[in-house]
């Protein structure tokens, strides 16, 4: 027989993490638009005039949309375990984006902003683990 105290761990998402998740959802929807339809908003000089650029930006938009959907499902159904998994995968992606940005000579401002986002996601992960 299982102990109900052991199975009842982490039953709700902390309020501060919920607020952060909604900020990620809203920002994510904006960036889905940016990457898919208007990359010049975030990346000056970027265009989607050739196939490879269209594919690259659109696939990034789809990746962001998938992350937004996972965040939305996690917060709507109040599933902290799902949110934890989603945030861990996002953190891995953010770190990868920083590595790619540095390796390809990306802008310092973009790398710094992604780094700040990664730190915020790490904060949310730690809050979920402690809950």
pLDDT of residue 42: 79
71 pLDDT exceeds 50? yes
Average pLDDT over residues 89-110: 91
pLDDT of residue 34: 92
CB-CB neighbours of 44 under 10 Å: 8
CB-CB neighbours of 68 under 10 Å: 19
The ranges assigned to domains in the chain are 14-130
Q: What is the pTM of this model?
A: 0.84
Closest CA to 13 of 121, 89, 124, 116: 124
Average pLDDT over residues 59-77: 96
* Residue whose token pair is 């898919």: 36
The whole-angstrom separation of Cα 31 and Cα 42 is: 9
Helix (H, G, I), strand (E, B) or coil at 24: helix
pLDDT in tens, 111-124: 999 999 999 999 99
Measured over the CA atoms of residue 27, residue 32, residue 35 and residue 37, the dihedral's sign is negative
Long-range contacts of the stretch 30-39 (C-beta < 8 A, 24+): 31/61, 31/64, 32/61, 32/64, 32/65, 32/68, 33/61, 34/61, 35/60, 35/61, 35/64, 36/61, 36/62
pLDDT in tens, 3-48: 555 444 558 999 999 999 999 999 999 999 999 888 888 777 887 7
What is the helix (H) or strand (E) element at residue 64, kind and residue range? helix 51-76
Mean pLDDT of the chain: 90
């Amino acid at each position: 027989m299982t102990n109900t105290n052991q199975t009842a761990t982490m039953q709700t998402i902390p309020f501060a993490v919920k607020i952060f998740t909604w900020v990620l959802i809203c920002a994510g929807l904006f960036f889905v638009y940016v990457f898919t339809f208007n990359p010049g908003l975030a990346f000056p000089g970027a265009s989607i005039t050739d196939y490879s650029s269209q594919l690259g930006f659109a696939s990034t938009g789809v990746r962001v949309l998938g992350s937004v959907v996972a965040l939305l499902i996690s917060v709507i159904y109040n599933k902290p375990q799902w949110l934890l998994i989603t945030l861990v995968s996002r953190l891995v992606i953010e770190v990868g984006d920083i590595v790619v940005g540095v390796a390809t000579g990306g802008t310092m401002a973009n790398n710094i902003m992604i780094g700040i986002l990664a730190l915020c996601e790490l904060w949310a992960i730690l809050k979920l683990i402690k809950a």
